[in-house]
Amino acid sequence: EAMEKSRPLWDNPLQFVFACISYAVGLGNVWRFPYLCQMYGGGGFLIPYFIMLIAEGMPLLYLELAVGQRMRQGSIGAWKIISPYLCGVGVASVVVSFFLSMYYNVINAWAFWYLFHSFQDPLPWATCPLNSNRTGYEEECEKTSSTQYFWYRKTLNISPSLEASGSVQWEQALCLVLAWLVVYLCILRGTASTGKVVYVTASLPYCVLIIYLIRGLTLHGAVNGLVYMFTPKLEQLSNPKTWISAATQIFFSLGLGFGSLIAFASYNEPSNNCERHAIIVSLINSTTSIFASIVTFSIYGFKATFNYESCINKVILLLMNAFDLEEGSLTADNLNEMKDYLMATHPQEYAQLSPQLKNCSLEAELDTAVQGTGLAFIVYSEAIKNMEVPQLYSVLYFFMLLMLGIGSMLGNTAAILTPLTDSKVIAAHFPKEVIAGVVCFINCVIGLIFTMEAGNYWFDIFNDYAATLSLLLIVLVETIAVCYIYGIRRFEKDLQTMIGRKPNWYWKIMWAFASPLLIISLFIFYLTDYILTGTLQYQAWDATQGQLVTKDYPGYALAVIGLLVAASALCIPLGALVTLIRKRLKRETVSTV
């Protein structure tokens, strides 16, 4: 029987919704979605985004929630009930979630590190530190910016390449241990403890975002950022990458395929209205992405305007000193005319000075696309340092990052722990607290790799390759399994039993045709992209230039990338093969008897 009578439940449906929001609304909404808006048409990107939400996001979220709620098992048990040959699908989800947990909590460690430094006055990334002789600034910092220097040198102490692995940075290692300790305390008692924590991790980020929205909209230059965001560049709609990016963002921001949603739904009452909750969670997730983008672009506009005006002022000061101009004769409004005039009247002097004269452009500042850790830890910290009372906004921002990160980690660990605690063999020998402790300890120890000097390069490898192709394959098999192996009519009856009505034509068409075709298209795109890319490359920090440089991955890194993809993807065919062999051996044993 699929339903387990003794299974612990959420206190109420609202707690389940908060758990899903806490998991789904994560760092990707804050640092990935604004980047995609910037890259693919500003407000125009919302068109493919909402089409993909309707065609892919909502149906697949509903499907996973319904499977978890009906089968009352974690990912391994749920797919095993649908068909014994699908046990590998659940194992693949657990493997992907394990990979994600290994590196994702490092972001929380970095958030802790920045949070602790946010109480200093001035902020440690506000200015460049003095050199050892105290005669000037550190050379590496002078070649870049104070915020980049603090990130690459003080936080990561990054090595020049992946080959120079270096040693473990003990400050980052301690922050990582703290991050895992917090996660462990949150999951210690299963739904009893997680259910209370999700109220905080789901709601607090919105409070901080509202504070930042109010502050962001009052910043000088915020309008420039918002105009840039909402101005639609409709020509981008003809770019296939725009649609691929929209589909990918929906897919990953909802956390499909990891097994976390199935795990959360398995603790629901059998009569819970999972259809309504799928719509609510997906709409809140997408609304949050847009809301976070408004906040990000208002701050981005402030930063771009600040940099643009600083650039203009430096050029004005340089020209006034070189040509002994009167105070106030040169302004931002007449700068171009004065440059032309000085070039015509003092050609030799102007030619000598021209290499030092930067070409200041607000549009160029706004066009600088940054995502991921670059947006979270460099761009935001650069904007914060120029605000009034920067310590307050720094504490609020990195506390928000921490809440978002911990909320996602609760889902990741649930995807691993639920199948383990569902196993009668493991649960009979070890209590939940011990199982959770062992999982956290193993992840923490392996995660120390990411605190080494080359740790950020390994972080990028896991972030780029540990989940993408594997998740697409997992969700494709899930959809085909429900529609064509378990049977869509049988699934309809299950839903009628649970929520009192059958799914309408929209859900059935999306499950049976539209969503699988979209996933296959994404899968082919990523596979083709990897093949056409040729030698895989990464961005390494060059301290002598104070900038990122492109390098080829060494052979062993390529082997790790291959293993990351294969380790989870091969679980699906291997699971089916093992089940087939077991059944044949059982038949042979019965026939000989």
Binding residues for Na(+) are 24-25, 29, 253, 285, 404, 408
Which stretch of DSSP H or E encloses residue 134?
none
For the chain, give the longest Cα–Cα distance.
107
Counting other chains too, the contacts that 572-575 makes at CB distance below 8 Å and 24 or more residues apart are 572/88, 572/89, 572/92, 572/473, 572/474, 572/477, 573/88, 574/88, 575/85, 575/86, 575/87, 575/88, 575/89, 575/91, 575/92
Whole-angstrom distance, CA of residue 353 vs CA of residue 569 = 59
Whole-angstrom distance, CA of residue 194 vs CA of residue 14 = 13
Task: List Cβ neighbours of 392 (8 Å cut-off, separation of 6 or more).
Answer: none
Number of neighbours of residue 203 by Cβ within 10 angstroms: 13
Counting other chains too, the contacts that 98-102 makes at CB distance below 8 Å and 24 or more residues apart are 98/416, 98/443, 99/462, 99/466, 99/467, 99/564, 99/567, 99/568, 100/258, 100/412, 100/466, 100/467, 101/409, 101/412, 101/413, 101/416, 101/439, 101/443, 102/443, 102/446, 102/447, 102/450, 102/462
The 8-class DSSP code of residue 129 comes to P
The 8-class DSSP code of residue 513 comes to I
Whole-angstrom distance, CA of residue 264 vs CA of residue 17 = 9
**144-166: buried (b, 16+ CB within 10 Å) or exposed (e) per residue?**
bbbbbbbbbbebbbbbbbbeeee
Whole-angstrom distance, CA of residue 409 vs CA of residue 496 = 33
Whole-angstrom distance, CA of residue 205 vs CA of residue 22 = 10
The 8-class DSSP code of residue 170 comes to H
Residues in the annotated binding site:
24-25, 29, 253, 285, 404, 408
Please answer whether residues 221 and 307 qualify as being in contact, where contact means their C-beta atoms are separated by less than 8 angstroms.
no
> What stretches of 59-205 adopt beta strand conformation (E)?
none
Concatenated DSSP letters of 445-497: HHHGGGGBTTHHHHHHHHHHHSSHHHHHHHHHHHHHIIIIIIIHHHHHHHHHH
Please answer whether residues 194 and 410 qualify as being in contact, where contact means their C-beta atoms are separated by less than 8 angstroms.
yes
- DSSP SS3 for 260: helix
Task: List Cβ neighbours of 501 (8 Å cut-off, separation of 6 or more).
Answer: 495
Whole-angstrom distance, CA of residue 264 vs CA of residue 191 = 9
Number of neighbours of residue 513 by Cβ within 10 angstroms: 12
Whole-angstrom distance, CA of residue 169 vs CA of residue 150 = 15
Amino acid at 253: S
Length in residues, the chain: 593
Return the CA Rg of the chain.
Answer: 27
Whole-angstrom distance, CA of residue 70 vs CA of residue 63 = 11
Whole-angstrom distance, CA of residue 73 vs CA of residue 264 = 10
